[in-house]
Amino acid sequence: MTSTEVLLQVRDLVKHFPIMRGTLIQRQVGAVRAVDGVSFDVFHGETLGLVGESGCGKSTTGRAILQLYRPTSGSVIFEGVDLVGLKGEDLRKMRRRMQMIFQDPYASLNPRMTVGQIIGEPLIIHGIADRKEAQERAEELLRLVGLNPAYTNRYPHEFSGGQRQRVGVARALALQPAFIVCDEPISALDVSVQAQVVNLLEDLQAQMGLTYLFIAHDLSMVRHISNRIAVMYLGVVVELADRHELYNHPLHPYTQALLSAVPIPDPVIEARRQRIILKGDVPSPINPPSGCRFRTRCPLADTICAEQRPEFREVAPGHWVACHMV
């Protein structure tokens, strides 16, 4: 299913949100370093899971890749084109190739538009279809995501959360993109519905050869859907590996702590499970620790960790980690 052909290349991606003070004349007094030097590749047809606790910059990374937030620096090379700095019509053309599925199905659909209008809008914007064709296409897409095609004249408030998320998926698929950023697409859903949506995403991937960047904080779900997994902490990727490799041989102390928190559905093993409890809180991204971001909470931290930022290096084939102690 997956190839080694690189679809998306993210290099040293940085997104800082400036903090402004002053009423009339504003000046920058600092920055939230939401994403601070992230690099990874996404291969054709794979699902790359992006995990981390809330506020670690995973959603910002997804949005910066799609240029919904303009990156502060770095490059995002998608199908050979650097998206950073791309403007106007050029950027609009690239948008046809990459889409996003949003977290909150209640906020991501315009409440004043019918489902048919929502799904058909991308086609009209890009001049692919006229109003009537867009309507027909919307019906096809509804069928594709497992909804009744007669629903095109319904409004979002008439649907349940899971159905709305399917509408969101249909909208993302309308332009037949190659790459979809799934920003916690199941976090807002009922557990029983989560599996349905994940299965739908997997089916669509198999049918249409899609590539996903799957952002989530549910580790077991990420393990289920992803081919490879990247772990983020405070704006940086600390570890990236094949899912089996990552779950069986986590190298970074943060990944180890994170995985030790996953409950095991077997009471005997669960009773023996050793949790690594991290001390303290996540430091503020406005003023992150020097050197290694994780050193303030790391059980292995040494003097070098405060002085040098660990290099993100390949320690085994396909297994990347940013830690001095590995």
Partner 1 sequence: MATKPSVNPTPSQIADLTMMTVKPRSLWVDAWYRLIRNKAAVAGMIVIIFFLFVAIFANQLAPHNPLQTNAGKSFLPPAWMEVGPNGRPSDPAFFFGTDNLGRDVLSRTIYGARVSIVVGFLPTIVIVLVGSVVGLLAGYKGGQFDNILMRFTDVIYAFPDLLFFIIVMVTLRETFIGKLLNGLFLLFMALAIVNWVGFARVVRGQVLSLKEKEFIEAARCIGASDARIMFRHLLPNSLGPIIILSALTIPGMIITEAILGYLGLGLTPSTNPNDIFITSWGALMLDGQAAINAQPWLILPPAICVSLMVLAFTFLGDGLRDALDPRLQGTQ
Positions that interact with partner 1 (CB under 8 A):
24, 63, 66, 68, 92, 95-96, 99-100, 102-104, 107-114, 121-122, 125-126, 146, 148, 150-151, 153-155, 157-158, 160, 163, 168, 171, 174-175, 196, 199-200, 203
Residue among 127 and 265 whose Cβ is closer to partner 1: 127
Q: Residue written as tokens 């960047």?
A: 213
Residue among 171 and 297 whose Cβ is closer to partner 1: 171
What gap in Å lies between CA 228 and CA 46, rounded to an integer? 8
What gap in Å lies between CA 302 and CA 292, rounded to an integer? 10
Closest distance of CB 88 from partner 1, Å: 10
Residue among 61 and 296 whose Cβ is closer to partner 1: 61
Nearest to 118 by CA among 93, 135, 97: 135
Closest distance of CB 202 from partner 1, Å: 11
Closest distance of CB 228 from partner 1, Å: 24
Q: For residue 26, what are the β-bridge partners?
A: none
List alpha helices for 261-298, DSSP H: 267-272
Residue among 1 and 107 whose Cβ is closer to partner 1: 107
Q: Residue written as tokens 């209640």?
A: 106
Residue among 185 and 310 whose Cβ is closer to partner 1: 185
Closest distance of CB 214 from partner 1, Å: 17
List alpha helices for 149-242, DSSP H: 161-173, 191-208, 219-225
On the CB side of 283, CA atoms within 13 Å amount to: 17
Closest distance of CB 33 from partner 1, Å: 21
